[in-house]
Structure 1
Amino acid sequence: MHEIHLTQTWVGYLNLVIFIVGYYFIAAEEKFHMNKAKPALLIGTLMFMLLGIYFTLNHLDPEPLHNEMEKLILEIAEIFFFLFVAMTFIETLIERKVFDVLKYKLTSKGYSYKKLFWITGALAFWISPVADNLTTALILSTVLFTIDKTKTQFLVPGAINIVVAANAGGAWSPFGDITTLMAWTAGKGEFVDFLYLFVPSFAGWVLTAWLLSFFVPQGEPHFDASLPKAELKPGAKVVIWLGAFTIFIAVLGHQLFHFPAMWGMMFGLALLKMYSYLHKRKNQEDHFDVYVNMKNVENDTLLFFFGILSAVGALHFMGYLEYVVKLYDIIGPTAGNIGVGFISAIIDNVPVMSAILKANPPMGIDQWLLVTLTAGIGGSLISFGSAAGVGVMGRLKGIYTFGAHMKYAWTVLAGYVLSIILWYIQFEILGLY
């Protein structure tokens, strides 16, 4: 458990105020027209600066603070590099016209907005258990955006659908979501145990998608038949296979060698760079440069992650996240685990799950699976409550925002409630696990 308690000190109170104020500016991104990465980065770094001042003034041993920061750097680096590689691959696929071809195929078939809404959502649900929810949401929101760049009444429900589907798909697979991965690696369940969460995850997403589908406009996206058919640029297929292989290596490396997933991703990036070099030698006139594609990566999304994880890390260091665990003593595991879903929507689900695993409240496998489910799907309740949501906000800048999401948040809540009811029936009444 946590040895340092700074919640009752001036630095504890001040940092809590800074966190709340910063959080307000992140949530009100549209109101102030200030990119959410700016307040996130400011609060994340400032909170630790103040902790440094507090330790110096009180002549305290800085060792615990240094240890906390080192652990945090590790945690951030894993997500940062994973995201960076995933985004670089996506930018390369965009440049090689992969998404234009996909858009052509989807729009030339005359699919309606509603059908496209269901296709992208279903793809998100089925790809995320294998490719992880963040990469899946990034890819499919790019598809959504290439279909129609301006129709917000299609893009907003479509984006929410993708985030909810990716998070729900990730919740029942040990490497589909970081929180599920954490519970699995902490030995809270075997690989197969997590698959029992399929029914609650799937049904919750379907209910949300069905409710959202009523807001999707009629008609189909404009398709200009006179435009030439979209063609893949040379090397596009190899890049697709390299991307799939990179995810496979990341998962395999984690499974077999217990490597961080970003290590396999960086290996994949090295392969992509080698391929671009060989490709350039063969295709002088139509080659691609990975470094140029890297320039298009959403750096603000990466910096937002750095800021928010640092800020939550500071709260954890000061002892605030222990109050989350005290919930369990007061209200019991079922209500506590349901509450975790709402907390993980406000605070990133990774530190919340890490706090619960550190505290290790005495729970059976049914309850550990419930907290895996709620931490995984609860993040969908707020636009930046999950990695998938943050990724999509970066992709659909100015379209999928906090305010736009909150208009439809009740549909996500309905799905969340249904998932919990089905968990209760399956696990507590029928004992099917």
Structure 2
Amino acid sequence: MTEAAAAAGTAAQHLDLTTTWVGILSLIIFVVGYYFIAAEDKYHINKAKPALFAGTGIFMLIGVYFAMNGLDGHHLEKEVEALIYEIAGIFFFLMVAMTYIEAMIDRGVFSALRYNLVSKGYTYKRLFWVTGLLAFFISPVADNLTTALILSTVLITIDKENRSFLVPGAINIVVAANAGGAWSPFGDITTLMVWVDGKGAFSEFLFLFPASILGWYVTAFLLSRFVPDGQPPFNASEEKAVILEGGKQIIGLFALTIVLAVLSHQLLHLPAMWGMMFGLALLKMYVYYINQNAGPTQLNAFSWIAKIENDTLLFFFGILAAVGGLHFLGYLEYFTALYDKFGPTAVNIGVGFLSAVVDNVPVMSAVLKSDPNMGKFVQEQWMLVTLTAGVGGSLISFGSAAGVGVMGKLHGIYTFSAHMKYAWTVLVGYIVSVAVWYMQFIVLHIG
């Protein structure tokens, strides 16, 4: 092995290839890919395409670099295997959640909910608040992504055309789902990571409730000022929408599937997605049962799977792979050194902004792996970074799983540019959340 190859091998071992040509080129690919993701409306290119290209391309370049320098690819192979495991967990979790949502759409669940809301004469503003409150209080149990997918489906069934209602409503759901998930150990992937790593007890997450709900409320109040007056279109002679045969049972199976996902992780030491896949198996068994015993009704579970937003799944694959590549190259390790320089409070607040740009899962993973010095208030700081990583993802439309899911569900309506028009309201809420945390945890020592 040459001296250059040996040096490169040492760099790879310490995950510091940032100054090599592969590190620089990979960073350029990520930035360009990120630009096209953000400019989806301008270039009319689906966000999954640049994300997938960047994610796969970066690791292809790393593989070429290893081959050119005669390096042992065992380390790279292990890193990719770990990344595949992480991506697969999210990928299959999302696939099952989306399949259940398509099943409930097919069975008229959301049409019935929409009819019940609209027929009561609720105004756009009241519907805005109802969907936001539901998102905030469902996400701690069902997780923020699943909650956002469900409520955004309700939103689009209320009014498919009124963007002045749909865009603020979508942002409200994303913010509420992320804020609601921040105070529950299994409300978001990042909170689950912190809990499993032993950085906080179950009860400690619950103390984030005041910061979460007040931050969301401020954002929702500001957004509500842009929601139009009046009521969504409703014809009094419109036939009452009802849940079709099997719909209520599918709702029950979906709730059971979420419970199975939580129990799989907490009690059985299996990935959460394993419980979700078992729930998918139960759904398919139920479809078989109803097709055999329910008369003329014939359901097709594969048709539901075919309707899910595959571009959302591929976007997640691409963006997680791309960030995983940057992590392997050493880029995500740099910011942890800032803790000693600027202090944990400032850096943990900054993690929220970084989470919005990159993705909160790998950012939190980097924080946990580096285990930085959190200073005097260790538990309080871990709660802060949990709050900021979860809530901070709302600052940009695709900064969180919930945002990406809603972008897929409200394709062409809830976009990056549409979100950024109202992003300042999210920023105000973020500042309020951090201020409440500081007053509660540092000043009053409650938590």
TM-score normalised over the length of structure 1: 0.99
Measure, in 2, the Cα distance between the counterparts of 1:137 and 1:32.
26
* Correspondence for 2:25: 14
Alignment of 1:103-114 (within 5 A): 103-114=114-125
- Who is 2:446 aligned against? 432
| 1:298 corresponding residue in structure 2 | 309
Map Cα deviations across residues 267-318 of structure 1 (whole Å, 9 max, x no partner): 1000000000000012342221110111100000000000000000000000
Give the one of 128, 132, 146 matched to 2:143. Answer: 132
> Secondary structure in 2 aligned to 1:176?
coil
- Percent identity, aligned pairs only, is 67
Paired with 1:259 and 1:272, the residues of 2 have a C-alpha distance of 20
Q: What per-residue deviation string (whole Å, max 9, x for no partner) do you get for residues 81-102 of structure 1?
A: 0000000000000000001100
Contact conserved, 1:163 with 1:388, CA < 8 A, in 2? Answer: yes
Structure 2 equivalent of residue 368 of structure 1 = 382
- Please give the secondary structure, in 2, of the residue aligned with 1:4: coil
| Partner deviation per Cα, 1:125-178 (whole Å, 9 max, x = no partner) | 000000000000000000000000010000000000000000000000000000
Cα distance in 2 between the residues matched to 1:66 and 1:384: 29
- Report the 3-state secondary structure (helix = DSSP H, G, I; strand = E; otherwise coil) of the residue aligned with 1:244: helix
Judge conservation of contact 1:393–1:401 (CA < 8 Å) in 2.
Answer: yes
Matched residue count = 433
Matching residue within 406, 424, 430 for 1:410: 424
- Equivalent position amino acid for 2:319 in 1: I
Alignment correspondent of 1:316? 327
Distance 1:367 1:258 in 2: 27
Distance 1:90 1:332 in 2: 43
Distance in structure 1 (CA, Å) of the matches to 2:265 and 2:142: 13
Where does residue 89 of structure 1 map in the other structure?
100
Q: Which residue of 2 aligns with 1:196?
A: 207
CA distance in 2, matches of 1:237, 1:102: 12
CA–CA distance in structure 2, aligned partners of residues 300 and 264 of structure 1: 24
Aligned with residue 148 of structure 1, among 154, 159, 164: 159
**Per-residue CA shift, 1:251-271, capped at 9, x if unaligned?**
112111222110110010000
Separation of aligned partners in 2, 1:148 and 1:51: 47
Question: Quick one: distance in 2 between partners of 1:14 and 1:391?
Answer: 30
Q: Which position in structure 1 is the counterpart of 2:402?
A: 388
Inter-partner Cα distance in structure 2 for 1:197 and 1:170:
10
Match of 1:261 in 2: 272
Is 1:5 aligned to residue 16 of structure 2? yes
Please report the TM-score for the alignment, with normalisation by the length of structure 2.
0.96
1:269-308 mapped onto 2 (5 Å cutoff): 269-308=280-319
Q: Could you tell me which amino acid in structure 2 is paired with residue 324 of structure 1?
A: F
Could you list the structure 1 runs, at least 4 aligned residues long, displaced by more than 3 angstroms after superposition: none
Q: Distance in 1 between matches of 2:177 and 2:326?
A: 28
**Counterparts of 2:439 and 2:32, CA distance in 1:** 41
CA distance in 1, matches of 2:153, 2:104: 10
2 and 430 in structure 1: CA distance in 2 versus 1, 3 angstrom threshold: farther
Question: Match of 1:385, as an amino acid?
Answer: G
The CA distance in 2 between the partners of 1:421 and 1:299, in whole Å, is 39
Check whether the contact 1:234–1:287 (CA below 8 A) recurs between aligned residues.
no
In the alignment, the residues of structure 1 paired with residue 438 and residue 268 of structure 2 have an alpha-carbon distance, to the nearest angstrom, of 36
Once the two structures are overlaid, the 10-residue window that deviates more, 140-149 or 275-284, is 275-284
Unaligned runs of 5+ in 1: none
Distance 2:15 2:100 in 1: 42
Counterparts of 2:333 and 2:266, CA distance in 1: 30
Kindly provide the CA deviation profile for residues 163-214 of structure 1, in whole angstroms up to 9, marking residues without a partner as x: 0000000000000000000000000011001101000001000000000000
Assess if the C-alpha contact under 8 Å between 2:13 and 2:75 holds in 1.
no
Amino acid across the alignment from 1:81: F
Q: CA deviation at 1:2?
A: 6.8
1:341 to 319, 328, 352: 352
Matched, 1:164 2:178: no
User: Cα distance 1:418–1:119, how it changes in 2: closer, same or farther (>3 A)?
Assistant: same
- Given that residues 383 and 405 in structure 1 are in contact (C-alpha distance below 8 angstroms), is that contact kept between their aligned partners in structure 2? yes
Q: Which amino acid aligns with 2:416?
A: F
Q: What letter matches 1:365 in structure 2? A: Q
Aligned partners of 1:237, 1:46: CA distance in 2, in Å? 44
1:341 and 1:378 in contact (8 A); partners too? yes
Counterpart code for 1:399: I
AA matched with 2:358: I
CA distance in structure 1 between the partners assigned to 2:49 and 2:341 by the alignment: 37
The letter for the 2-side match of 1:414 is V
| 1:357 equivalenced with 2:371 (yes/no) | no
Match of 2:8 in 1: none
Letter in 2 for 1:220: Q
2:433 maps to which of 405, 419, 424: 419
Amino acid at match of 2:189: I
In structure 1, distance between residues paired with 2:185 and 2:54: 32
Which of 263-272 and 227-236 deviates more?
Answer: 227-236
- Unpaired runs of 5+ residues, structure 2, are 1-11
Q: Aligned partner of 1:92: which letter?
A: A
2:425 maps to amino acid:
T
Mapped to 1, the partners of 2:353 and 2:226 lie a distance apart of: 25
